[in-house]
Amino acid sequence: MQFWLIQAFNGISYGALLFLLGSGLSLIFGVMRIVNLSHGSYFLWGGYIALSVIWATGSWGLSLPLAALAVALIGLVMERVFLRPLGFDPLRQVLLTVGFAYLFQQGALDIWGGNNMEINPPSALTHSVVLGGMYFPLYRLFMITTALAIGLTIWLGMEKTRVGAMVRATVDDAQMARGVGIDTNRVSMLIFALGALLAAVGGVIGGAFLGVYPGLDFEVLPLAFAVVIIGGMGSLGGAAIGAMLVGLADNFGKALFPELAYFTLYAPMVLILAIKPTGLFGRE
Amino acid sequence: MMSKFAMRVGFILMSACVAVAAGLTPAAAQENLRIGLLSPMTGFLSQTGQDMTHGFQLYLEEHHGMLGGAKVDLIVEDTQGKPDTAVTKAKKLALQDHVDMFIGGVLASTGYALAPVSTEQKTVYISSVAAADDLTQRQLDKYPYFIRTTWTSSLPNHPLGQWACEQGYKKVVAIAADYAFGYESVGGFQKAFEDCGGKVIQKIWPPLGNKDFGPFIPTIKSDADVIYSLMVGPMAPQFPKQLREAGVKLPIIAGGTSYDDYNVAFDSDVVVGDVSALMYSAALQTPKNGAFVKSFRAKYNAVPGYYAEANYTTAQMVDEAIAKSGGKFPGPEQFIKNMLGLKIDAARGPVSFDDMRNPVENVYIRKVEKTTLFGDAKPELWNVVIKTYPNVSQFWTYGKDAFLKQPVYNRDFPPCKYCE
Amino acid sequence: MSATMSQKARILAVAAVLLALAIIVPLSSSFVVLLATRALVFAILAMSVDILLGFAGLASLGQAAYLSVGAYLTAILAAKYQFGLGWDFWLVVLFAVLLGAATAAFFGLFAVRATGVYFLMITLALGQCVWGLAYRWNSLTNGDNGINLTSRPNFGLDLANERTFFFLVFAFFSVTLLMLYVLVRSPFGRSLEGIRERELRMQILGYNTWLHKYIAFVIAGAVGGLSGVLWAHTNGLVSPDTVVLTTSVDALLMVVLGGAGTLVGGAIGSAIVFGLREYLSTLVPWWQYVLGGVYVLTILYMPMGLMGLPARIRQWRGARSRSANGQSLMPAQS
């Protein structure tokens, strides 16, 4: 019984991290129909910038918002300067994001070096809560609560505000949205920056959990894809469910079928895409 | 319009080719010792590559660019961490730069890829990092120009298995990265540990690069009394941290890469007390090592790990081997003979070679402690040596012939007799 | 009439360049020969990507899977069964092509149902599955140690000589290029282009678009398998590092750089990428930025790749008053 509870907890906490990573990707696709292949780079740079902030100021609490905003800014610039001029050409935009992923990777290597680093959270978060003889690391709880808080905030923003309504309209039908006077370019820019911000938050939080090192960007990218594929593009709720499913499947898959550890992620992805090419909750 | 285009393109391409071809003709100065260093300067192994290069270059600088009395032309080539790039660069070094030897290679697959190149090109290849066991065991005859100056994956794990048994540990759960280096390390440990009377009761293989040990930690059998871990790269800091967070209090004994010196400084304090085995520790309190660590730190602002030491010592070996031939490269066969006859006092301690062209050296059992060494400003995490096993060869106490009769350590060998 | 003329001129241009290569490269230094060989092998893989991208409009991030299937087949046959090292090398080529096609036939059942970014992702996932297999199926693939090939095949040619081997690879490249050229000029190829442009319309016209795309996918797999055989013999070792995601991404990059839909675009892209990566990297440490920058600039300003450069220049000269953006990635006409 303990085994199942702990594994479920682990899977959910991993899913929380994946939600932060994947929700941004999902939103970006929903609004702009771009699969942002430099999304992993945003995740990685979030972690690296947070490290720099910590080295400079010693404050972990400060690193999260600063890194998130910095990466959001990078995302903003990238959208405005490079993606927007391409017009509506999803394939070309996707390929452009690949080029940027390469540049980001090299840049990170030059700025921060190649060591395997990690973000050490404040010691308050390094303990574990003991319930019924089972250890629940506080940091994992923190991951879950943060993801929940952010998820709720965004959801509220989407549902209850005017800006949110504009975003939803654009996701549903960009042409119609333009037709009723919504500035879809602005919406795109906003969503792209938001997506980058979410990825960066994931990177900062994940930095204590996965580490921060060269190559992490291309390692988390397939994970983000998995979330979006399973949960469907453009749907925040779908991203949440997708993230949970991926987190749990990955966790239980590795624990119960360690022989297949390399496939627990990709095989389900292939199957789901084969049956429903737009993802479990996607709509096309 | 189109044919004009064609002509233009053709012309451009031709001039480019000619320029490239002309620009790459080598200028050979045969009196100098020409050495090629193959290391991953870019890509995910770039930190390792830098350490390798720095280690070698440090020795060269300390000796004014000379090894054994010969001036050295060092050509560093980037393998990008890929075996096929390594092969191309090695061939280039041999065919075009006419190097006397090429040194390096990190991954096992790179080692296996480069060894045949050395045979083909009749050029010495010194593996200064790649630890794949079989290169200097059952496969050796295919590679007469190949010599290894560091270790085999199982070399330090045999004495560790012995040591663990002597400490009174009876049941081990092994958790190691799921690839050849992991298999060979666990294999060496298991053989020695079980031959002494211990039992490996479980083997867990997280995929290489896996950083979330959440799925694996709860499966660790509760009747174990110690954990053997073999982690590399980004896995290394995460495992002990997550293990302790999950409330597991079992002691950890590990393969050396789980606590490699240059990384251990970045770990959190949770690793204090963890034991590992390697043929080197930066905390080694010998004059030779002290000098090495101090100058490495002064120049590169980092603690040298075994990648740096391996290449520093390789340079030292080349130095003495060339000196034996009076400052000239004596041809590949004689050079290898010179190397095999060496007994040197390296930063890692005394090193000599066995007749399979692999080193015989000390293995250090180290424990992570927070202390100040070599002029630290404040206490840092170091791998303090708690026991030394001298003159360890790749065959441990088994004797070459008996050892070679068994298969290479892999995922299923030695078999996990005590697992359910 | 001018279209046919420009076509003939193009063929002549390509032939001239190939001839030039065949003459110049063997006369250059060994490093150039080595690089050119590797670039050509990769160019064959790039051509398989181009079939999908440039002609069927499908961007695949999993072509490395077929290269690795062919490569592992070659390596296993050579190392375990001593097969393929003499005249039976040609049998291995045949087997690799068939195996590549078979793998693609199987994968295609999953992949070709999807389009656009979904296709991208499913091919990525499939490629990663092959990687996982290469890594874990130790008894077959030797895991991450890789499989060494003992020597290059001997059928009357001394292939250990890098220059002779270059000619062999060059021959394979040219023949493949020719065969694929005939393919894309055929009615089948034309239909593919039609599907790329407007699939719905083709369906209305009665074409079985799924089947066309599927066949293209299988052919791409076959070509990938072929490149794998040459890859194995070029390097002498096959390991899971061959099947990594970046190999597939590289192939895609090369096609985009050189120009999708031109077949030779992949070769040009391959030359550029290898030249930058392996030659420039020996000179300067910041070559990655050059590569990334070239790539980004190509996408932004030269969507038809380097092959589209003259057309672009013409357009820029002739259309200075009109804005010249919004150009799609694939050429509307050849």
Could you say which of C288, C299, C328 has the minimum Cβ distance to residue A95? C299
Residues of chain B with CATH 3.40.50.2300: 29-153+285-353, 157-278+364-405
Considering chain B, what is the average pLDDT of its residues?
Answer: 87
Domain boundaries, chain C: 31-318
Q: Do the bridges between strand B359-371 and strand B344-346 make them parallel or antiparallel, or are there none, so unpaired?
A: unpaired
CA atoms within 13 Å, Cβ hemisphere of B249? 1
Alpha helical stretches, state H, chain C: 2-27, 30-50, 64-81, 89-111, 116-136, 138-141, 162-185, 187-197, 199-204, 209-235, 245-258, 264-274, 287-301, 309-318
**How many domains does one find in chain A?**
1
pLDDT digit string (tens) for C207-265?
788 898 999 999 999 999 999 999 999 988 898 888 887 788 888 888 888 888 888 88
pLDDT digit string (tens) for C253-288?
888 888 888 888 888 889 888 887 777 776 777 777
Could you say which of A116, A135, A139 has the minimum Cβ distance to residue B233? A116
- The predicted complex's ipTM stands at 0.81
Is A257 domain-assigned? yes
pLDDT digit string (tens) for B260-302?
887 787 777 889 999 999 999 999 999 999 999 999 999 998 8
The residue behind tokens 């020996």 is: C282
Could you say which of C13, C28, C239 has the minimum Cβ distance to residue B9? C13
Crossing angle for the helix pair C116-136 and A216-231, to the nearest 10 degrees: 120
CA C67 and chain centroid, separation: 9
For residue A74, the enclosing domain spans: 2-275
DSSP B35: E
Chain B residues within 8 A of C234 when measuring between CB atoms: 84
Alpha helical stretches, state H, chain A: 2-32, 39-57, 60-77, 90-112, 138-160, 162-172, 174-179, 184-206, 216-231, 236-256, 266-275
Q: What is the structure's pLDDT at C319? A: 61
What percent of chain C has a predicted confidence (pLDDT) above 90?
A: 25
Considering chain C, what is the average pLDDT of its residues?
Answer: 83
C319 touches chain B (CB under 8 A): no
Is A167 domain-assigned? yes
Q: What is the CATH number of the domain that holds A115?
A: 1.10.3470
Chain A residues within 8 A of C131 when measuring between CB atoms: 262
- Joined tokens for residue B21: 């071809």
pLDDT digit string (tens) for B351-388?
999 989 999 999 999 999 998 888 788 888 899 999 99
Interface of C with B in 49-108 (CB under 8 A): none
- pLDDT higher than 80, residue C185: yes
Stated length of chain C? 334
Q: Closest approach of chain A CAs to the CA of C267, in angstroms? A: 18
DSSP C304: T
pLDDT digit string (tens) for A154-178?
888 888 888 888 888 877 777 888 8
B46 touches chain A (CB under 8 A): yes
The answer to whether B366 touches B383, Cβ cutoff 8 Å, is yes
Average pLDDT over residues A40-63: 91
Q: Is the dihedral angle over the CA atoms A23, A27, A30, A33 positive or is it negative?
A: negative
The answer to whether B142 touches B115, Cβ cutoff 8 Å, is yes
Neighbours of B298 (CB within 10 A): 10
Selected for mutation to probe chain C from B106, B109, B133, B181 (highest C CB count within 10 Å) is B109
Touching subunits of A (3+ CB pairs, under 8 Å) are B, C
Neighbours of B268 (CB within 10 A): 17
For B397, the 3-state DSSP assignment is: coil
Average pLDDT over residues B223-248: 90
Position with higher pLDDT, C298 vs B228:
B228
The answer to whether A185 touches A248, Cβ cutoff 8 Å, is no
The answer to whether A188 touches B216, Cβ cutoff 8 Å, is no
Q: Do A270 and C129 touch (CB under 8 A)?
A: yes
Is A282 domain-assigned? no
Listed residue (B295, B348, A110, A184) closest to C284, CA to CA:
A110
B29-153+285-353 is a CATH 3.90.180.10 domain = no
Chain C residues within 8 A of A90 when measuring between CB atoms: 116-117
Q: In the CATH hierarchy, which fold is given to the domain comprising C31-318?
A: ABC transporter involved in vitamin B12 uptake, BtuC (1.10.3470)
B157-278+364-405 is a CATH 1.10.260.40 domain = no
